[in-house]
Amino acid sequence: MEQFKGKSRLPSFAIPKRYELDLVPDLSGCKFGGSVRISVDVVSDTRFIVLNSAALSIDSQSVRFRSPQSWFQELSPSEVVLVEEDEILVLGFDEVLPIGEGVLAIAFAGTLNDQMKGFYRSTYEHNGEKKNMAVTQFEPADARRCFPCWDEPAMKASFKITLVVPTELVALSNMPVTEEKVDGLVKTLYFQESPIMSSYLVAIVVGLFDYVEAVTPDGINVRVYCQVGKSDQGKFALDVAVKSLNLYKGYFAEPYALPKLDMVAIPDFAAGAMENYGLVTYRETALLYDARHSAASSKQGVAITVAHELAHQWFGNLVTMEWWTHLWLNEGFATWMSYLAVDSIFPEWNIWTQFLDDSTSGLRLDALAESHPIEVDINHASEIDEIFDDISYSKGAAVIRMLQSYLGASCFQRSLASYIKRYAFSNAKTEDLWAVLEEESGEPVKMLMNSWTKQKGYPVVSLTLKSQVLEFDQTHFLADGSSGDGQWIVPLTLCCSSYNAQKKFLLKTKYDKLDILELLGSPSGKASLFGENSQGIAGGSWIKFNVDQTGFYRVKYDVELAAALINAVKSKQLSATDRYGLLEDSFALCMACKQTLSSLLSLLDAYREELEYTVLSHIITISYKVISVAADAIPGLLDDIKRFFIGILQVHAQKLGWESRDGESHLDVMLRGELLIALAKFGHDITHNEAVRRFEAFLNDRNTLLLPPDTRKAAYVAIMQTVTISNKSGYESLLRIYRETDESQEKVRILGSLASCPDPEIVLEALNFLLTTEVRNQDAVYGLGGVSRNGRETAWKWLKENWEYISKTWAGSLLTSFISSIVSPFSSDEKAEEIESFFSSRITPSITRTLKQSIERVKINSKWRESIRNDHSLGEVVKELSHK
Ligand code: BES
Ligand code: ZN
């Protein structure tokens, strides 16, 4: 017995092959009963069977083991022990079990919980009446809360599910229904047996729904289920789903493995979406799109989410990671593939340029000392949740992109198809993928990629040009300005003065140098770069490294190379991705105190004629950070810095206006929303007055064309800028809209605006509102993101006072987002200490990583703030730039 405790994996003397699972959910009583018969293969001598179970009451008397040798003689265990802390059920028999196949039968019961994990209850309204639905969310390790099982990704088995539910309800599972028996008020649904799959992908949904459907050219029935009366809002996702399925079938040279695909909008949902095999579940905001009420950014979000979850049907569901250490194989690939699919369906969205925001999130997190390698040890189920982070998703996707661009798109696709074929209905590790890629490409993929997935962090490559020799120096980049001890094999790319002159090579050591002549291969190239007889770089020439930002590293140029690139930006010679990259690397170097804020602002000044959505959107992101730290460091210059950013942004805002125009591009629509929000936050008068006027019109008529969904959040934020505790009417109007609407996207917009008010007393009211029953637990996170700078202290005090309740009510990433959103904006060492000391007695394994990362961010902000105070040319530069 004792020997099974405290282990990270189940013992492997019995392996599950097939589950027959019967469940009877009681929606009004919020409980369920069930029984399971599991065919297992006993592969070595044992008296014990050990499987997972959590929060279930097991009927000990019901447990039986039958083997073909003793078909009529059923064995009952003499010991049935639930080890709560390890979430295992240990069955001890008096005799050694016969080797070979046997069937384990167990009856059990459980509660439909409110935690959005395991088998849980979600609520909705139908004809004014509050109703319950029953939903499962098993990833990463919560199938064990619904039925006893071998709850590990490598323990694949087939599932034959039977549900007994009220006759009027829709009940869905991974496979189609083969038979339905109605018996008065209840019906029994028999689902077809599934192919072998991992337990975390099993799913059940029971409730009232409408649906829309389509059939793929291969005859696969695809449906989108949503709340009764809203099925029109499922049409967009349905279309994306059908197109994605087709695309992936071609890309992987392997058809979708199941006979149907259902996608369901769930009103209470912890993540954004979940790729259950054949039954994908979503938050409403991630699946539903309504042309009248949804913003263009929501439309894009739906497309990306659907494409992501459907990529998992191959990468994840058909071929599954062997253990959670390889989670990134699932999430990194699905993220990368979603861009591939969306780019093909909506080429006009320039989605690969937008992908850089994903890479940037990876680069930001991975620059912390408290980051972790892509392949991370997992020793306990409670550690899995925290690795669904920007390392597994964004860095994962970015290193895939880096490898793809190094090996070439067609070689990469061929290798992936053969990987999928080789490991279909099975499991794989990271090195299995490298092996296939190495075979197909003949390149040293394993050696190259180990340096990216087995150690945390990434390099900054510093470049100096001395006497026509380029010198490289890679160091482990850390956001606080120090350097780590990592070293990488860096697939470097560069181009000289034109995208036609590109080179690539592997930087394998810390230092390296290259003769520019060798690099360009011809004396004429040299001449064009340097000019005749010149030592330095010629006017008009430039060298850009990390071409199109496909590499996961940063570049630091020497003064001369940097100046040449600024000219290239001004003379519009760089691609949008390279303009983005140059700016982002400069910004990161500036935060790490390796470059002054004045030089960053001068670089930004070169972007006055920028037109690309993603680049402008990134300028906005950077402006928020700069303004926030400037407010702490140099309050006297704050107004001028704001004026500088307003100057860059308002030209575009003026051009785009507030209303939609026929035929305008998706990217312009998204840009308009972001620009107006930024201008509203910076207190731009014209924007504010216009927002007030349009908001009034919207209050009188929710269908007014004066305030389309894409500009609504900007109006809400603008309104909140002038609300005070003694004049709350704007705040109250927003609450009224919140209460009247049944659109989740509208509710989210409002929640994200309320706490942006500069009056701390209003911030407190907004935060308290998040804890009321009017806000679903899944949505509180939206309210935390928008807290104004003036509201920081209030929010921190509020978090401390409510921590006990919050830590009991939320879990996983929903809980950690309370910490990261409220803690990270501070910028002083004293605050970091105060935060550390508050949590020292409240720390738990599930918040440890996020807490350390958030405190590290506060310390980084603090250093940055100090360095800005010491930037003596800043005042002059800001004055000059802000009056242009
Ligand atoms: N497998 C995840 C869902 C998940 C996340 C389960 C965390 C358990 C813990 C799913 O495929 C996913 O990645 N969803 C994303 C959406 C996607 C578009 C990035 C999400 O939920 O944010
Ligand atoms: Zn995913």
Tell me, in angstroms, the distance from the centre of ligand 1 to residue 814's CA: 13
Q: How many CB atoms lie within 10 A of CB 693?
A: 14
pLDDT at residue 265 greater than cutoff 60: yes
* Angle of helix 845-869 versus helix 613-633 axis, rounded to 10: 80
**Residue closest to 328 by CA, chosen among 393, 383, 271:** 393
Considering only CA atoms, which residue is closest to atom 2 of ligand 1? 274
- pLDDT of 382: 83
Angle, to 10 degrees, between the axis of helix 613-633 and the axis of helix 666-681? 10
pLDDT at 531 over 90: no
Percent of the chain with pLDDT over 70: 97
The pLDDT value given to residue 711: 97
pLDDT at 532 over 60: no
- Alpha-carbon distance of 219 to 818, in angstroms, equals 45
* Residue 722 region by backbone torsions, left for phi larger than 0, else alpha for psi between -120 and 50, else beta: alpha
Nearest to 849 by CA among 440, 370, 326: 370
DSSP letter string over 628-643? HHHHHH-GGGHHHHHH
Q: Which pair of tokens denotes residue 46? A: 């044992």
The pLDDT, as a whole number, for residue 147 is 98
The three-class DSSP label of residue 197 is strand
**Which pair of structure tokens corresponds to residue 557?**
């140029």
Q: What is the whole-number distance in angstroms between the Cα of residue 273 and the centre of ligand 1?
A: 5
d(CA 33, CA 304): 37
Q: Which atom of ligand 1 is the closest one to the Cα of 309?
A: 11
Q: Phi and psi dihedrals of 879, rounded to 5?
A: -55, -45
What's the 309 CA to ligand 1 centre distance in angstroms? 8
pLDDT tens track for 478-499: 999 999 999 999 999 999 999 9
Res 519 pLDDT > 80: no
> Alpha carbon 612 to chain centroid distance?
24
Q: What are phi and psi for residue 134, nearest 5 degrees?
A: -110, 130
pLDDT in tens, 109-127: 999 999 999 999 999 999 9
Whole-number pLDDT of residue 386: 84
Please tell me the number of Cα atoms within 13 Å of 334 on its side-chain side. Answer: 30
For the CA of 330, the nearest ligand: 2
If you measure from the C-alpha of residue 204 to the centroid of ligand 1, how many angstroms do you get, rounded to a whole number?
17
Q: Which of 308, 329, 393, 814 to mutate to test the pocket of ligand 1 (most atoms within 8 A of CB)?
A: 308
Q: What confidence score (pLDDT) does residue 540 get? A: 82
413 C-alpha to ligand 2 centroid (Å): 20
Where do the domains of the chain lie, and which CATH numbers do they carry?
Answer: 1-203 (2.60.40.1730), 209-314 (1.10.390.10), 315-453 (1.10.390.10), 459-549 (2.60.40.1910), 641-882 (1.25.50.20)
Atom 13 (ligand 1): residue with closest C-alpha? Answer: 331
User: Ligand 2 mean position to 287 CA, how many Å?
Assistant: 15
Residue 380: the pLDDT is: 85
269-273 contact pairs (CB < 8 A, 24+): 269/116, 269/122, 269/135, 269/137, 269/778, 270/116, 270/117, 270/137, 270/778, 270/811, 270/812, 270/813, 270/814, 271/137, 271/388, 271/813, 272/305, 273/305, 273/306, 273/308, 273/309
Encoding tokens for residue 456?
Answer: 């945390």
663: left (phi over 0), alpha (psi -120 to 50) or beta: left
State the ligand closest to the CA atom of 339.
1
Residue 522 has pLDDT above 80, yes or no: no
**Token couple for 467:** 């006497």
Whether the bond into 153 is cis, omega within 30 of 0: no
Strands in 388-458 per DSSP E = 426-428
Between 728 and 379, the higher pLDDT residue:
728
Can you list the positions of beta strands (E) in 632-753? none
Binding positions are: 308, 312, 331
**Who contacts 577 (Cβ-Cβ below 8 Å, separation ≥6)?**
352, 353, 356, 548, 549
Q: Which atom of ligand 1 approaches the CA of 272 most closely? A: 21
Ligand 1: list residues with CB < 6 Å. Answer: 139-140, 271-275, 304-305, 308-309, 312, 331, 334, 388
Specify the ligand 1 atom closest to the Cα of 305: 18
Sign of the CA dihedral running 662, 663, 666, 672: negative
- Count of alpha carbons within 13 angstroms of residue 631, beta-carbon side: 14
Helix or strand holding residue 830 (H, E): helix 829-840
Residue nearest to atom 3 of ligand 1 (CA): 274
Residue-averaged pLDDT of the chain? 95
Question: Cα separation of 6 and 14, whole Å?
Answer: 19
Q: How many CB atoms lie within 10 A of CB 597?
A: 26
Could you please report the per-residue DSSP string of 529-579?
HH-TT-SSPPTT--EEESGGG-SSSEEEE-HHHHHHHHHHHHTT-S-HHHH
The SS3 assignment for 775 reads coil
- The number of angstroms, rounded, from the C-alpha of 349 to the middle of its chain's C-alpha atoms is 19
Could you tell me the maximum CA-CA distance found in the chain, to the nearest angstrom? 96
**What pLDDT shows up at residue 524?**
55
At 83, list the tokens.
């080890």
**CA–CA separation, 262 vs 234, rounded Å?**
11
Nearest listed ligand to the Cα of residue 280: 1
C-alpha–C-alpha distance, residues 101 and 109, integer Å: 26
Q: Which two tokens stand for residue 375?
A: 């392949």
* DSSP string covering 39-108: EEEE-S--SEEEEE--S-EEEEEEEEEE-GGGTTS-B--SEEEEEGGGTEEEEE-SSPPPSEEEEEEEEE
Nearest protein Cα to ligand 1, atom 6: 139
Residue ranges at the known binding site for Zn(2+):
308, 312, 331
Q: Tell me what pLDDT residue 383 has.
A: 86
Q: Are strands 260-266 and 221-226 parallel, antiparallel or unpaired?
A: parallel
Q: Which of 57-71, 103-117, 628-642, 653-667 has the lowest mean pLDDT?
A: 57-71
pLDDT of residue 515: 85
d(CA 722, ligand 2 centre) in Å: 40
CA nearest ligand 1 atom 5, residue: 271
Element (DSSP H or E) covering residue 111: strand 100-111
Ligand 2 centroid, distance to 208 Cα (angstroms): 26
Question: Could you tell me if 37 and 19 are in contact, meaning their C-beta atoms sit under 8 angstroms apart?
Answer: yes
In what helix (H) or strand (E) does residue 38 lie, and over which residues does it extend? strand 31-42
pLDDT of residue 462: 98
Catalytic residue among 87, 139, 275, 309: 309
Res 523 pLDDT > 60: no
Between the alpha carbon of residue 185 and those of residues 29, 164, 206, 210, the distances in Å are 16, 10, 15, 20
Other CB atoms closer than 10 Å to residue 784's CB: what's the count? 21
Cα 393 to ligand 1 centre (Å): 9
435 burial via Cβ count (<10 Å: 0-12, 13-18, 19+): middle
Quickly list H helices, 292-408.
Answer: 296-312, 327-345, 351-366, 396-407
From ligand 2's centre to the CA of 270, what distance in Å?
Answer: 13
Selection from 590, 510, 570, 582 nearest residue 543 by Cα = 582
pLDDT band at 530 (very low <50, low <70, confident <90, very high): low
State the distance from the centre of ligand 2 to the C-alpha of 336, rounded, in angstroms: 10
Q: What is the pLDDT of residue 468?
A: 84
At 538, is the pLDDT very low, low, confident or very high (cuts 50, 70, 90)?
confident
Which ligand is nearest the CA of 394, by number?
1
Q: What percent of the chain has pLDDT over 90?
A: 92
Spatial separation of the C-alpha atoms in residues 779 and 284, rounded to whole Å: 11
Best CA proximity match to 783, nearest among 801, 806, 804: 806
Whole-number Å distance between alpha carbons of 649 and 620: 8
Q: What is the pTM of this model?
A: 0.97
- Res. 390 pLDDT band, cuts 50 70 90: very high
Q: What is the pLDDT of residue 457?
A: 98
User: In angstroms, rounded to a whole number, what is the distance separating the alpha carbons of residues 111 and 149?
Assistant: 17
Binned at pLDDT 50, 70 and 90, residue 73 comes out as confident
668-723: pLDDT as tens digits: 999 999 999 999 999 999 999 999 999 999 999 999 999 999 999 999 999 999 99
- In whole angstroms, what is the distance from residue 570 CA to residue 603 CA? 10
Reduced to 3 states (helix: H, G, I; strand: E, B; else coil), residue 320 is strand
Task: Reply yes or no on whether 309 is catalytic.
Answer: yes
Cα(247)–Cα(307) distance, rounded to whole angstroms?
10
**pLDDT (0 to 100) of residue 535:** 53
* pLDDT on residue 48: 97
Q: What is the mean pLDDT of residues 138-147?
A: 98
Distance between CA atoms of residues 107 and 125, nearest Å: 33
Q: How far apart (Å, rounded) are the C-alpha atoms in residues 80 and 62?
A: 11
